[in-house]
């Protein structure tokens, strides 16, 4: 057991109000790739150069709905994905009364599948979809099964994923909930994120607690501020720590 894991275990034991802030690195261990790993198929098809960010922008959604949904269904929905060690460990920490909230940039819903109850999804969820006309709810299975652009069987309106696209603002209630949780935490664990996506990454500036822990495979802009930095896979680290605590 490394000294870093021992230090993390001690922090977890001493903490009474932990908040976890996570990004794409949490889900890659469930074989969900970062969407930036887009190939050039859509560039070729549209006869234009598109970054992955442009492919999931509000403008692209409005202008090229067929291509948007083709990319969205194949690159952003992973129906067979299962919670990994990170999701499971965080749900256990909540069950133990240690962790009060998960703030995530991910849209896969795996934290809730693992059992986490308080989850602030900054960028929405692929599991929720709503008709733009009548507001009827549809799950991700409906979207995946639809031909081309999904439309509401009740009114014919377009069904839009409850995902925050580029150029769209974050949900104010979700932001306020996340800020409130982070500002009250005695320990903030940041995991699986390079902290480059704003405004989400800026939320960590509201932390006023005792211990800032950063677990990420690569270095981030917040490494210098952290009390403990572990450059390793988030699922592996959290599982080791929970195992050491006897959970």
Comparing CA positions, the residue from 164, 18, 162, 31 lying closest to residue 103 is 18
In whole angstroms, give the CA distance from residue 113 to residue 138.
18
Q: Is the dihedral of CA 169, 171, 176, 178 positive or negative?
A: negative
List, in sequence order, the alpha helices (H) in the chain: 3-14, 24-28, 41-46, 52-55, 58-63, 65-75, 85-95, 110-114, 140-145, 172-184, 234-244
In whole angstroms, give the CA distance from residue 188 to residue 208.
9
Cα angle 235, 228, 217; round to 5: 40
| Spatial contact of 210 and 182, defined as CB atoms under 8 Å apart | no
User: H or E stretch including 119?
Assistant: strand 119-121
| Spatial contact of 116 and 51, defined as CB atoms under 8 Å apart | no
- Catalytic one among 58, 87, 111, 123? 123
Burial of residue 146 (CB within 10 Å: 0-12, 13-18, 19+) is middle
58 catalytic per annotation? no
Cα torsion 217, 209, 21, 214 to 10°: value is: 0
Catalytic residue numbers read 123
């Amino acid at each position: 057991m490394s000294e870093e894991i021992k230090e993390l275990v001690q922090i977890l034991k001493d903490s009474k109000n932990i908040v976890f802030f996570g990004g794409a690195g949490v889900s890659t261990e469930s074989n969900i790739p970062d969407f930036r790993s887009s190939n050039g198929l859509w560039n070729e098809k549209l006869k234009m150069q598109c970054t992955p960010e442009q492919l999931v922008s509000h403008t692209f959604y409005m202008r090229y709905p067929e291509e948007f949904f083709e990319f969205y269904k194949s690159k952003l929905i992973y129906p067979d994905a299962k919670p990994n060690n990170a999701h499971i460990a965080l749900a256990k920490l909540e069950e133990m009364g240690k962790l009060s909230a998960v703030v995530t940039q991910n849209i896969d819903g795996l934290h809730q599948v693992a059992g986490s109850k308080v989850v602030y999804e900054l960028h929405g969820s692929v599991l929720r979809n709503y008709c733009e006309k009548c507001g009827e709810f549809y799950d991700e299975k409906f979207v995946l099964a639809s031909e081309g652009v999904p439309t509401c069987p009740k009114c014919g309106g377009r069904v839009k994923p409850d995902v925050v696209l580029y150029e769209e603002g974050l949900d104010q209630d979700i932001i306020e909930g996340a800020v409130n949780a982070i500002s009250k935490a005695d320990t903030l664990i940041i995991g699986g994120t390079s902290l480059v996506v704003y405004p989400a990454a800026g939320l960590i500036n509201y932390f006023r607690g005792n211990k800032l822990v950063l677990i990420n495979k690569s270095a981030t802009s917040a490494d210098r501020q952290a009390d403990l930095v572990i450059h390793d896979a988030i699922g592996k680290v959290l599982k080791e720590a929970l195992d050491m605590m006897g959970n």
